[in-house]
Amino acid sequence: MDYKTLKYRQEGPIGLLTISRPEVLNALNDKVMFELHHFVASIGCREGLRVLIITGAGKAFVSGGDISEMQHLDAARAYDFARKGQIHLQRLANLQIPLIAAVNGYALGGGCELALVCDFITASTEARFALPETSLGIIPGYGGSQRIIRRCGLSNGLYLMLTSEMIDAYEARRMGLVQKIFEPAELIPATIAMAKKIAGNGPNAVKLAKKSAREGFAMSLENAFEKERELFSSLFETDGPEGLKAFVEKRKPSWSE
């Protein structure tokens, strides 16, 4: 597929996906969501991909949803709009490989929701985050009202939604939204270096660590422990023997997919 709103490049096991509508600060519209859906469906064809980084073109990550597409919705169409957006972003969240949002600028509304889908977030010192929907008389519709409270806690999530306040990268890190902050020129190189470190670990172990955390988070602690035991033991048929042997022999592991 010839993407019009996305740019993608892959170097070895690291993929970099860029939302590219810089003329409207990368606002999400139907075209972006359709292409994102197609991209996710094609992930299995991208040989050797182990970590995916998502960023934005120009001075924004994603400035939000495209208001011109939203302003004429009625209640029934708004419900369908939110349902489709949630499905598309959940498919992204459900990818086995780790996802990193490299937030280079504005991550507002739907852009913040897209960043929240990722497993963790790196940010430029120029990054700005907000869930400003209540100032427009609506609420987040792509899963943001649920993901923000799970990422930052109930009170922090409510604070961001109810005040519509825009926060910088340092406040976002204090709230637990952002994990690492870099100078603008260093954001992508530093995030790629981080991704390479992840890609150097056991590929099956990385996937199952994500699976254990993501699935266990929604379970009771007892059931989550059982899930962890199942996944832990399964790795002794894949990455575990080589990783443990390499450690004893003081060499780098030679992983197989």
**What are the beta bridge partners of residue 175?**
none
Q: What is the pLDDT of residues 9-39, one digit of tens each?
A: 999 999 999 999 999 999 999 999 999 999 9
The pLDDT of residue 2 is: 87
CATH for 6-199, options being 3.40.50.1820, 3.90.226.10, 3.40.50.300, 3.40.640.10: 3.90.226.10
d(CA 181, CA 109): 20
Q: Which two tokens stand for residue 241?
A: 């023997």
Residue 1 pLDDT greater than 80, yes or no: no
Q: Which residue has the tokens 């059931």?
A: 223
According to CATH, the topology of domain 203-248 is Lyase 2-enoyl-coa Hydratase; Chain  A, domain 2 (1.10.12)
Cα angle: 138, vertex 93, 236; to 5 degrees: 155
Q: Which two tokens stand for residue 9?
A: 């490049």
Q: What order do you get walking across the sheet with 167-168 strand by strand? A: 60-62, 106-108, 128-130, 167-168
Q: What is the pLDDT of residues 200-212, one digit of tens each?
A: 999 999 999 999 9
The pLDDT of residue 256 is: 84
The pLDDT of residue 45 is: 82
User: Which residues participate in catalysis according to the annotation?
Assistant: 113, 133
Q: Which residue has the tokens 């939604």?
A: 161
Residue 66 pLDDT greater than 90, yes or no: no
Cα angle: 224, vertex 230, 235; to 5 degrees: 125
Domain ranges of the chain: 6-199, 203-248
The pLDDT > 90 percentage for the chain reads 93
